Amino acid sequence: MRATRKQQDYPTDHFFNRELSLLRFQRRVLAQAADKQVPLLERLRFLCIVSSNLDEFFEIRVSGIKEQIRLGSRSAGSDGLAPTELLERVSDEVHSIISEQYELLNDDILPALEAEGISFLRRGEWTEAQVNWIREYFQREVSPVLTPIGLDPAHPFPRVLNKSLNFAIELEGRDAFGRDSGAAIVQAPRALPRVIRLPRDICQHEYSFVFLSSVLHAHVDQLFSGMNVLGCYQFRVTRNSDLFVDEEEVKDLRASLKGELQQRHFGDAVRLEVADTCSEKMEAFLLQHFMLGRRDLYRTPGIVNLVRLMQVPDWVARPDLSYPSFLPGIPKGLEKKRDVFAAIRKQDILLHHPFQSFNPVIQLLRAAADDPQVLAIKMTVYRTGTDSVLMEHLARAAQKGKEVTVVLELMARFDEEANITLANRLEEVGVHVVYGVFGYKTHAKMLMFVRREEGQLRRYVHLGTGNYHPRTTRFYTDFGLLTCNEEIGEDVAEVFKQLTGLGTATTLRHLWQAPFTLQSNVVEGIKAEAAAAAAGRKSRIMAKMNALLEPETIEALYAASQAGVSIDLIIRGPCALKPGVPGLSDNIRVRSIVGRFLEHHRIFYFYADGKEELYLSSADWMDRNFFRRIEVAFPILDPRIKRRVIREGLRAYIADNVQTWEMLMDGRYRRKSSRGTRRSAQALLLSDLAGAS
């Protein structure tokens, strides 16, 4: 039975809009690209991240707004903005962001890169040797895989893949069959690289690149022999990529999802990007074809997809233009111990990624696969990567006769296909693969081992705030806890039982679990601090997460602020709460940290009359995490580790004056001044926990 909650109406002026708040986060990322204190190649990477983020924003968030409008919905969110008004404001904001983005690229970053010997050559700059090499490259690598399509009754407009690179061609003249449609479409196959490095011996700079779009523009006339090419314009369409599976009709989730995935690339168009050289006639034609309005059109003074540049920093061997490399540290409890199980029995172990290595988790799974005393392994998987070493160890454990169960979330957005493939591989070797509870995404991060020791069974557990993804643990800040605490082990076992079997929810001793108790316990924790403050006792709330949007929780924070509770919130992305509003949220401060690593851990701290209750979680304070997902928040019981989490995960960030953005009461963000001693939380943690490479 799906968990329910009572809907309540709160004043709309208490909340910021989620989509507009998320776009403000993109501006903070863009500010990293503009910051000359950031290494140059990393500035380019941040610029690309903005484009990648905007792609997903249109695929999911904007497509959702458009769907509301299509269905005639006039209902507003908690902030009171109706869908039509919201879409207009989103369009205005994104147009502004993109304008600033390309101005930064063309006027700052590209010239700075060229000064460092890294150039992106325009067609008018090609030397004769470069022209000859590019012509040969086009004839050898590009032309054979292109299929130009002239538009006429026998050749309708081709299906355009989501986010693919395409060219609209304006033509003049008649072909061999007497046809004169005046237009053609050329689709760039996905197999072709979008950025091509030229040989060093024909270039002035060590690193010289050309774009595939430039190569095609230079030779497009070869695709239409005897015709006069009037114009060649890049364009790109972003489509609705949200998947829908009807839980009332579906019989086999994996089979139904496969069918949906085939259509994802061809969902309804939500955005059209064109080069700013595109003619008005062609713009109008494309907008009409994709059934889009002028607000959905985004003209770009340069390549239409900056995500293409994301790999360039990895291709350029210039350490002086990148962040310094480092080796993740190893916790003291594991430095010399070969027996990971013995180390965990001795004491709980905290891992702080990426400053500390994820390898202990991999080593633990490897040891469990080979250990004859380990009888069973259970694990939740949300995102793990296509070739995860963790999955290989799980498969080996199953092949060795252990009971291995994986709760795999098939609906992990944009990882659905990879997770289906993974499910097939694991099932082939005898792993029990289940998909959790239909209608609720399994987002909790849990790994449990059952081991026979001295005639008894003991549970070892890893709980985390981030995914079991070895790659992202090098770029995301997350906590992981290794423990064999008996009561926590029992709680984790109970959650796994819910996910794989049937039965009513039982009371857990330590874990807060969504969709049953997580939100109510968070609200109760906030209310307890408010009661303490009202009674004149010391109170304090600190929390760190990706997003804060759930109205009841926000209202509880407002009430706590009014009671006198000091509240510090570190919210990386969208935040619907309004801080510092007189009479409403005077005592609430909201910060956003944007730096080298993606801030990802979720930490909930309540002073609790000196007990200092501290929970780590995979859940943000959002409706979906509280009510439509399987999530857990787990307590830190060891005083030593509790002090570490407070110091490393909260106070270091509150003290940060380098990468901190302070949220103002009107929703704007102001970068915190770094006068005096510069304190960067991420730099401090690298210094304290990691080593030089």
- Please tell me whether residues 317 and 344 are part of one structural domain: no
DSSP state string for 428-493:
HTT-EEE--BTTBEE--EEEEEEEEETTEEEEEEEEESS-S-TTGGGTEEEEEEEE--HHHHHHHH
Which of 301, 321, 341 is a domain's end point? 321
pLDDT tens track for 35-51: 999 999 999 999 999 99
- Please tell me whether residues 343 and 480 are part of one structural domain: yes
Confidence of residue 153 (pLDDT cuts 50, 70, 90): low
- Which of 248-262, 410-424, 576-590 has the highest mean predicted lDDT (pLDDT)? 576-590
Strand ranges for 269-318 from DSSP E:
269-275, 297-300
- Please tell me whether residues 523 and 456 are part of one structural domain: no
- Please tell me whether residues 400 and 453 are part of one structural domain: yes
Which of 478, 509, 540 is a domain's end point? 509
pLDDT tens track for 661-679: 999 999 999 999 877 789 9
Angle between helices 416-428 and 389-399 (to 10 degrees): 20
Q: Which range among 39-43, 123-127, 407-411 shows the weakest confidence by mean pLDDT? A: 407-411
Say if residue 5's pLDDT is above 60: no
Q: What mean pLDDT is predicted for residues 152-176?
A: 82
- Please tell me whether residues 528 and 499 are part of one structural domain: no
- Please tell me whether residues 300 and 349 are part of one structural domain: no
Q: Is 95 a catalytic residue?
A: no
DSSP state string for 81-107:
--HHHHHHHHHHHHHHHHHHHHHHIII
Q: How are beta strands 228-239 and 166-172 bridged, if at all?
A: antiparallel
Distance CA(348)–CA(485), nearest Å, equals: 8
- CB-CB neighbours of 626 under 10 Å: 26
Count of domains observed in the chain: 3
Quick one: which of 552, 447, 385 has its CA closest to 6?
A: 552
Helices then strands (H, E): number in the chain? Answer: 21, 29
- Please tell me whether residues 151 and 29 are part of one structural domain: yes
Q: Please give the angle made by the CA atoms of 535, 540 and 546, to the nearest 5 degrees.
A: 140
* Lookup result for tokens 């992990």: 412
Average pLDDT, the chain: 90
Provide the residue range defining the domain that includes 407.
Answer: 327-509
Domain of 500, CATH number, reads: 3.30.870.10
Distance CA(595)–CA(183), nearest Å, equals: 46
Say if residue 6's pLDDT is above 60: no
Q: Which of 219, 443, 462, 600 is catalytic?
A: 443
Within a domain: 434: yes
Q: 244 to each of 126, 247, 248, 271, how far by Cα in Å?
A: 48, 9, 12, 20
Helix, strand and coil in the chain, % to nearest 5: 40, 25, 35
- Please tell me whether residues 672 and 545 are part of one structural domain: yes
- Please tell me whether residues 128 and 239 are part of one structural domain: yes
Angle between helices 40-56 and 83-104 (to 10 degrees): 160
Q: Which range among 240-249, 559-568, 629-638 shows the weakest confidence by mean pLDDT? A: 240-249
Within a domain: 7: no
Which of 292, 321, 350 is a domain's end point? 321
What pLDDT, on the 0 to 100 scale, is given for residue 317?
95
- Please tell me whether residues 61 and 199 are part of one structural domain: yes
DSSP state string for 614-677:
EEEES--BSHHHHHSEEEEEEE---HHHHHHHIIIIIIHHHT--SSEEEEPTTS-EEEPP--SS
What pLDDT, on the 0 to 100 scale, is given for residue 175?
62
Quick one: which of 458, 503, 440, 504 has its CA closest to 632?
A: 440
Within a domain: 36: yes
Distance CA(202)–CA(413), nearest Å, equals: 44
